[in-house]
Chain A
Amino acid sequence: MMSAPLDRRALLSGALAGAAALAARPIAVRAAGPAELRVAQPWEFKTLDLGEAGFTYARAGITETLVASLPDGRIAPGLAQSWSISDDGLHWRFRLRDAVFHDGTRLDAATAKASLDRLLPQSLYLKRVGIAAVEADGLDLVLKLDRPFGPLLSYLVDNSAAVLAPGAFDGEGRVRALIGTGPFKVGAAELPRSLALVRHEAYWGEKARVAAIRYDAVGNGDTRTNIAIAKDADIVFNLAAQGVGRAASAGMTIERVIIPRTHILMLNCAKPQFAEAAARRALSMALDREGIAAGIMRNKALAATQYLPPTLADWHFADLAPLRQDVVAANALLDAAGWPRGADGIRAKGGVRFAGTVRTFANRPELPVIATAMQAQLRAIGFDLAISVGEAQAIYEAQKDGSLELGLSSRNTVFVPDPIGTIALDYASDVIAPGSTGTTNWRHDGLRQEVARYLAEADEKRRATARRAIAGIIHQELPIIPVTWYDQIVAVHPRVSGFVTDPLEQRYFFDRVTIAS
């Protein structure tokens, strides 16, 4: 049986009221307070799993690790105020500081051990270190290794193994809440798009000056640029180079810093056209890196003269001959290597054309444009380059099935603040890195020995020797060809002061920032 007949006017008023309530909801709950720092950045907060999205929470100052990195790459005390290492290099003892988690729980060696026991197995880098046991010994936390591991402190900055409170985990050991020790704690979260943080009043260090931060994940670079031009955020990360002028004209301060990321041309060294180091060097010499850096990246200083940028002072060597364009020398090298030109100007040897298809992707909009620039430059030395633009993961799939010829990709080289983490994976491992950015079918036993020596070595002088040897082999052999480095462009609202850009992208340091009223 039907109830009372519906009144049209009541129906219409109800619909209008409902729509208005739905539409107005964001207004009511999202009004920004005057002391809120508004941040637009490209990284979404996808999951609570630190192994997958831990870097976003560490950068934001929610989670902390035993040690921390400084913008100049040095390792500083974090939750451990000091540490010592046994003579055999197998026992690392960390004295924990007096800190309180966001939920009021006190940090001690037992809680730190419980957290690391749960998170270490999922840590991308730390699980490769060989930590045999984590022990709580009074006020100290002791890491027992099954082999000496020199760069352990850098690896401990791996934010997928941060120290969380016992209440952060569910019964199965999965992270169900982000309860860390950092200067900011989670106020409200709407994953994956926004995260509202408030100051942790019981922070062990100097308390943050801003009371609250709101992060918005904005994936599209053009949209971030629009936000900067409209000054609708205080700090906008990863601005498109093309938008810098307009954002500056709008009154935003522009910060540019070269970060450890390199745009690389990957070569499948199993293919005859890329098997010889001479041919790879000739391809490298054909590239006009300065032109690409100035014309496409809008910063001439980004031309990659070697694999790692000067930002990584320990790993950047002034005595390595800079990678530069030299078409005459490149042609001479190929002539000498027995790659004569055919009638169409393209070289061939033993029936193999000096040609290949480069796979790249448009998530980084500059990459297809760089590929197009390379096409003309490589033709000058008799190489025929075809371009295929698809998804980033297609490079890895082609690596796996052996069909990859060339790939144009981008590699972040410091997930932990020592590039050895990435170099060991990309250059000294038989497993292809699905990040689509490792070497392909290239093996160098000398390099593997140097990597092993570096990893086991605690003495800084001997480590420096190994570093130089590793960099030299990569530079000489060119299993991948560095094209440009990359600069982080940040637009900062004039009301913000104290902003520091971390070239290692480990932390935002927003606890040092102040906002003018």
Chain B
Amino acid sequence: MSASRTSLWPGGAAGTVLRIVASRLVQAVLTALVLASLCFAFVQALPGDAALRIAAARSGDDRVTAESVARIRAQEGLDRSVLAQYASWIGQLARGDLGHSLVSRQPVWQELADHGRYTLGLGALGWLLSYAIALPLGIACGFRPGGWLDRGTNALAVALASMPSFLVGIGLISLFALTLRWLPPAGFRTGAHMVLPALTLALGLAAFSVRIIRNAVVEVRGAFYMTFARIRGRSAGSAFLHHGVRNAAIPVATFAALQFAYVVDGFVVVETLFNYPGLGDLLVKSLLARDVPMIMGAGMVVGLMYAAVNLLADLACIGLDPRRLAGHSA
């Protein structure tokens, strides 16, 4: 096997790739900062006393006292002006410190890491599961467009895509946890507890990607280079394997990155529904408690993750089709 066939991009293009990575990183950091600042502004615009909500989040509504609210207001600097609070956060950030949660008092980075590993685990499982469903189905439908499998899959995908993820989750809980009793309905105690939330995510993702894969396969199979391969005597399957997969993978990889936005949205619902302690759950609780440092930290992380996923998708596309580097280096 030659070196050029095993590398993601041909030698000499490394500098261009590094330039892409560097410029994307700068963009990502700026976007994350803007996102965090917007989070700060939105939370400040919410009605109500932040110190009171923090006190209620720490001890429960019943146990809040006037003293505890006053103590939190003074200790956490919530009695300062909004600008002073924002300036303080920017100053902390410049020192590489995201601050601490106003509810748990733990460092924000630690809370994000603790919850993030759950989200990453569930997200990776859901995403892989979605492609385990969508790839074979999409390819099979692309090979026989208009066939009974294609029509059936299309109908199912439309139904799933039009359903909010909480409805899909409730359906799965009702069927597999409460009726068949095969799987636990919520929590994170064992591996079995991950199946239903991962499946909820996977079905939502697969509903979209199965059509993208199917269309990419149909398009590739109709391309001239496939006809040419057939003329040279290759079978349909062999031609697709050798010439089609790589080309069909490009739109699929681009779409996989776009799906990240759906995943972030999905996590908020899925983690709340399944009582799963990930970033989505943390974000909802932080918003209810007006835990500003946590909300800003989560906003930054989501922004950075979104940028990272898109960068990875771009690099994958360049790897699949190195001619794309020409556009970047021009």
- Tell me how far the C-beta of B27 lies from the nearest C-beta in chain A, rounded to whole angstroms: 22
With A6-B7, A124-B65, A230-B185 already in contact, the answer to whether A19 and B128 are too (CB < 8 A) is yes
Most chain B CB atoms below 10 A, which of A25, A124, A220, A226:
A226
B184 adjacent to A23 (CB under 8 Å)? no
Q: Which one, A6, A8, A47, A397, contacts B49 given CB within 8 A?
A: A397
B185 adjacent to A218 (CB under 8 Å)? no
A431 adjacent to B66 (CB under 8 Å)? yes
A230 adjacent to B178 (CB under 8 Å)? yes
- Report chain B residues within 8 Å CB of A11: 8
- Tell me how far the C-beta of B165 lies from the nearest C-beta in chain A, rounded to whole angstroms: 16
Q: Which one, B56, B118, B121, contacts A392 given CB within 8 A?
A: B56
CA distance A230 to B186 in the complex (A): 10
With A46-B57, A46-B59, A190-B277 already in contact, the answer to whether A227 and B187 are too (CB < 8 A) is yes
Q: Which of B108-134 contact A (CB under 8 A)?
A: 114, 117-118, 120-122, 124-125, 127-128
With A22-B117, A46-B103, A230-B178 already in contact, the answer to whether A38 and B189 are too (CB < 8 A) is yes
- Report chain A residues within 8 Å CB of B124: 18-19, 22-23
- Report chain A residues within 8 Å CB of B198: 23
Interface contact tally, CB-CB below 8 A = 168
Q: Which one, A18, A23, A230, contacts B181 given CB within 8 A?
A: A230
With A23-B122, A26-B191 already in contact, the answer to whether A223 and B7 are too (CB < 8 A) is no
Q: Which of A26-43 contact B (CB under 8 A)?
A: 26-27, 30-32, 38, 40, 43
CA distance A55 to B58 in the complex (A): 12
- Report chain B residues within 8 Å CB of A277: none
Interface membership of A497, Cβ < 8 A: no
A47 adjacent to B184 (CB under 8 Å)? no
- Report chain A residues within 8 Å CB of B57: 46
- Tell me how far the C-beta of B133 lies from the nearest C-beta in chain A, rounded to whole angstroms: 16
B190 adjacent to A26 (CB under 8 Å)? yes
With A190-B277, A223-B275, A432-B66 already in contact, the answer to whether A393 and B53 are too (CB < 8 A) is yes
- Report chain A residues within 8 Å CB of B128: 16, 19
A226 adjacent to B186 (CB under 8 Å)? yes
- Tell me how far the C-beta of A91 lies from the nearest C-beta in chain B, rounded to whole angstroms: 28
Stretch at the interface among A147-155, A265-273, A282-290, A433-441: A433-441
Most chain A CB atoms below 10 A, which of B14, B61, B68, B125:
B61
CA distance A72 to B117 in the complex (A): 45
With A22-B121, A394-B48 already in contact, the answer to whether A46 and B61 are too (CB < 8 A) is no
- Report chain B residues within 8 Å CB of A30: 188-190
- Report chain A residues within 8 Å CB of B55: 434
Interface membership of B173, Cβ < 8 A: yes
- Report chain A residues within 8 Å CB of B189: 26, 30, 32, 38, 194, 214, 216
Most chain B CB atoms below 10 A, which of A30, A31, A431:
A30
A51 adjacent to B59 (CB under 8 Å)? yes
A49 adjacent to B58 (CB under 8 Å)? yes
With A232-B187, A435-B61 already in contact, the answer to whether A23 and B277 are too (CB < 8 A) is no
Write the A65-108 contact mask toward B (1 if CB under 8 angstroms, else 0).
Answer: 00000000000000000000000000000000000000000000
CA distance A26 to B273 in the complex (A): 19
- Report chain A residues within 8 Å CB of B191: 23-24, 26-27
- Report chain B residues within 8 Å CB of A393: 48-49, 52-53, 56, 61, 64
CA distance A191 to B114 in the complex (A): 10
- Tell me how far the C-beta of B1 lies from the nearest C-beta in chain A, rounded to whole angstroms: 10
B64 adjacent to A25 (CB under 8 Å)? no
With A5-B3, A53-B58, A226-B185 already in contact, the answer to whether A192 and B125 are too (CB < 8 A) is no
Interface membership of A179, Cβ < 8 A: no
- Tell me how far the C-beta of A63 lies from the nearest C-beta in chain B, rounded to whole angstroms: 16
Interface membership of A193, Cβ < 8 A: yes
- Tell me how far the C-beta of B110 lies from the nearest C-beta in chain A, rounded to whole angstroms: 11
Interface residues on chain B, number (Cβ under 8 Å):
61
Interface membership of B69, Cβ < 8 A: yes
A26 adjacent to B277 (CB under 8 Å)? no
- Report chain B residues within 8 Å CB of A363: 61
Interface membership of B177, Cβ < 8 A: yes
- Report chain A residues within 8 Å CB of B272: 220
Q: Which chain A residue has the least Cβ–Cβ distance from B185?
A: A226
Interface membership of A146, Cβ < 8 A: no
Interface membership of A412, Cβ < 8 A: yes
Q: Which one, A19, A190, A435, contacts B64 given CB within 8 A?
A: A435
Interface membership of A486, Cβ < 8 A: no
Interface membership of B230, Cβ < 8 A: no
Write the A396-412 contact mask toward B (1 if CB under 8 angstroms, else 0).
Answer: 11000000000000011
With A6-B7, A23-B122, A229-B178 already in contact, the answer to whether A52 and B52 are too (CB < 8 A) is no
- Tell me how far the C-beta of A469 lies from the nearest C-beta in chain B, rounded to whole angstroms: 26
B186 adjacent to A27 (CB under 8 Å)? no
- Tell me how far the C-beta of B34 lies from the nearest C-beta in chain A, rounded to whole angstroms: 28
Q: Which one, B3, B121, B181, contacts A25 given CB within 8 A?
A: B121
- Tell me how far the C-beta of B167 lies from the nearest C-beta in chain A, rounded to whole angstroms: 14
A8 adjacent to B48 (CB under 8 Å)? no
What are 24 pairs between A and B in contact, CB < 8 Å? A6-B8, A8-B319, A19-B125, A23-B125, A23-B198, A51-B59, A52-B59, A52-B63, A193-B277, A194-B277, A218-B186, A218-B275, A220-B275, A223-B273, A226-B173, A226-B186, A246-B178, A393-B48, A393-B52, A394-B48, A397-B49, A415-B62, A432-B66, A433-B65
Q: What 19 new A-B contacts, CB under 8 Å, besides A26-B191, A229-B185?
A: A6-B8, A16-B128, A19-B121, A25-B117, A25-B121, A53-B58, A55-B63, A223-B185, A226-B173, A226-B185, A230-B181, A231-B181, A232-B186, A393-B61, A393-B64, A412-B62, A432-B66, A435-B61, A435-B63
Q: Which residues of B approach A to under 8 Å, CB–CB?
A: 3, 6-9, 11, 14, 17-18, 48-49, 52-53, 55-66, 68-69, 103-105, 114, 117-118, 120-122, 124-125, 127-128, 173, 177-178, 181, 184-191, 193-194, 198, 272-275, 277, 319
